[in-house]
Amino acid sequence: MIPQEIIRRKRDGQELAAEEISAFIEGLTREDITEGQAAAFAMAVFFRGMSRDETVALTLAMRDSGEVMDWPGVGRPVSDKHSTGGVGDNVSLMLAPIVAACGLAVPMISGRGLGHTGGTLDKLQSIPGYNVMPDPALLRRVVSDVGCAIIGQTGDLAPADRRLYAIRDVTATVESVPLITASILSKKLAAGLQTLVLDVKVGNGAFMEAPEDAARLARSLVDVANGAGTRTSALLTDMNQPLADAAGNAVEVRNAIDFLMGRKNGSRLHEVVVALAAEMLQQAQARRSAEEARAAAIAALDSGKALEIFARMVHALGGPSDFIEKPAQYLPKAPVVIPVPAPHEGWLAACATRDVGLAVVELGGGRKRPQDTIDHGVGLDQIQPLGTRVSKGDPIAFVHANTEAQAQGAVAALTPSFRIADAAPEPSPVVLERVA
């Protein structure tokens, strides 16, 4: 098929056949399609959109552009979760071992930080020796023996997405819902999943800040994934403040260990993790009801079984065998730790969450350019949740930095990120909606 004819038909608002989309993506993968043609295609989709059937076809073509994994003999439902990203979102680190403890197999393909949001792979690379890019044989062995493995996307999984995303990134077409949907799902479905749960973030720390935009993306993801043959649902969750009480890399890994030790029960983070775990168990039909699934997730956490699985996963992928017992010995630490003092008394009423994420990036905990090196030791911890009563000078959070100047710069940036009011804010739910 002639690429420019496919581009013209989409430019003119016509619906493309699955064969046309497949041919275009095959050409993109073989590099028979030029960057200019790929950019024109992305712009046509950006302005004209895609139907559900077109987006399913695009997702499957991108999935099939590389290796599609299978799991013969694993003996468990193969499941995963994807988050659209936020600040202090370390959910994957706890969720994978919790649902593995409940009988699921979780080959979790994760990513690096993007913009103001943290990346699961960057967090895991705080752990000495942890291999985020194992070969397929090791990945299969860890998932079979341990129950879960959190790793990165290999070059063999959905290579068409990698090329198309790089072009979208420099042509202002990243925000297209059909292209976002196909990008997310092609990588996930290439992992050979039977079920998938999506965590779509909403609020001032999310990429989709408006609830209607987040709901539209969630509906697209759910409809397309189910159309592609993978049973999928989504939860919309609040990102108007950091989810964990830490933001960074090593600090979030330490936070995850504390969580798995039962020290974060009752927090917003606990609510989101348990809700997603219950959703995964229900989608995989591993439990009969929402109540039974939720009880199983809590039991896996409270019994210490999920902590044990996390420890085994870390060691199986090259990390220290005694990491859980001695995290302080292994995790990098920043030499300067200072508080962010409350400028006056009152109630923490609002948070500019994106600015909190950008403060971590400025400290070196994220990337300004793709080639930048991450400083795993810097970040924030003991971030107080909205609704906390503070007196003047009370710590709102603690900054972990490499120099006193960097620490003071972060304090100056973070102080106006929190609004302190005379009255306590109305409590807001953290799990907003289910889309199925």
Active site residues: 80-83, 120, 168, 183, 187-188
Q: What are phi and psi of 338, to 5 degrees?
A: -135, 155
Tell me how far CA of residue 288 lies from CA of 25, 232, 267, 283, 284, in angstroms: 40, 17, 26, 10, 10
3-state secondary structure string, 37-101?
HHHHHHHHHHHHCCCHHHHHHHHHHHHCCCCCCCCCCCCCCEEEEEECCCCCCCHHHHHHHHHHH
Tokens read off for 332? 């990098």
Cβ burial, residue 341 (10 Å; 0-12/13-18/19+) = middle
For the chain, give percent helix, strand, coil, nearest 5.
45, 15, 40
Residue holding tokens 């909606």? 433
Cα 219 from Cα 232, distance rounded (Å): 10
**What is the spatial order of strands in the sheet that 389-390 belongs to?**
389-390, 346-351, 418-421
Place of tokens 């070059």: 155
152-191 in b/e burial notation, b at 16+ Cβ within 10 A?
Answer: bbbeebbbbbbbbbebbeebebbebbbbbbbbbbbbbbbb
Around Cβ 377, how many Cβ atoms within 10 Å? 21
d(CA 332, CA 250): 6
Say which DSSP state 417 is in: G
Q: How wide is the angle at C-alpha 122 spanned by C-alphas 243 and 435, nearest 5°?
A: 45
Cα Rg of the chain (Å, integer) = 22
Whole-number Å distance between alpha carbons of 162 and 368: 19
